[in-house]
């Protein structure tokens, strides 16, 4: 008579792990790829605002700086931040051409970098979309 077979031992079942979703804070590019163009525009808009805020802070520091070399360095950094905001706001207007806030901030950033013709164009586009957008009206006054 054959010997009875030993019962098969089964490995304990492991709980299924869900597919990990990328963290939007650590993987912003992947997040942007999953968003609609309008949502991507909003993300870019917020990034542009961040650049603008940093530029304004640097401008305030430069205004109170008494050392000419330090002042010049702070102004150059502020200009670089304005140029960064221009890139972001320009991307916003490509993804969402009706984003009047981005057009307005784009106009302001162009003005602060000395590109008055582009500033006027951007402000006029903001006002074409939102005729009562007061900041764009004010930027136009500064450019004339």
What pLDDT shows up at residue 68?
96
Residue numbers of the chain with a pLDDT score lower than 50: 14-16, 18-20, 22-23, 25-26, 30
What pLDDT shows up at residue 31?
55
Between CA 105 and CA 26 the distance in angstroms is: 27
What pLDDT shows up at residue 3?
56
What pLDDT shows up at residue 143?
64
The domain ranges of the chain are: 36-143
What pLDDT shows up at residue 32?
54
36-143 has which fold? 1.25.40
Between CA 88 and CA 43 the distance in angstroms is: 9
What pLDDT shows up at residue 86?
97
Count CA within 13 A, CB hemisphere, residue 88: 22
Between CA 132 and CA 22 the distance in angstroms is: 41
What pLDDT shows up at residue 35?
87
What pLDDT shows up at residue 30?
45
Number of H helices, E strands in the chain: 6, 0
């Amino acid at each position: 008579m054959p010997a009875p077979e030993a019962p098969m031992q089964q490995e304990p079942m492991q709980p299924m792990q869900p597919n990990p979703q990328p963290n939007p804070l650590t993987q912003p590019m992947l997040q942007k790829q999953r968003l609609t163009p309008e949502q991507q525009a909003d993300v870019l808009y917020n990034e542009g605002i961040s650049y603008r805020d940093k530029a304004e802070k640097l401008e305030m520091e430069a205004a109170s700086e008494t050392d000419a070399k330090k002042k010049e360095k702070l102004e150059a950094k502020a200009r670089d931040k304005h140029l960064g905001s221009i890139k972001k706001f320009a991307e916003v207007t490509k993804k969402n051409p009706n984003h009047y806030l981005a057009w307005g901030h784009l106009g302001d950033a162009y003005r602060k970098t000395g590109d008055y013709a582009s500033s006027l164009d951007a402000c006029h586009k903001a006002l074409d979309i939102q005729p009562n957008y007061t900041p764009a009206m004010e930027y136009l006054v500064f450019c004339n």
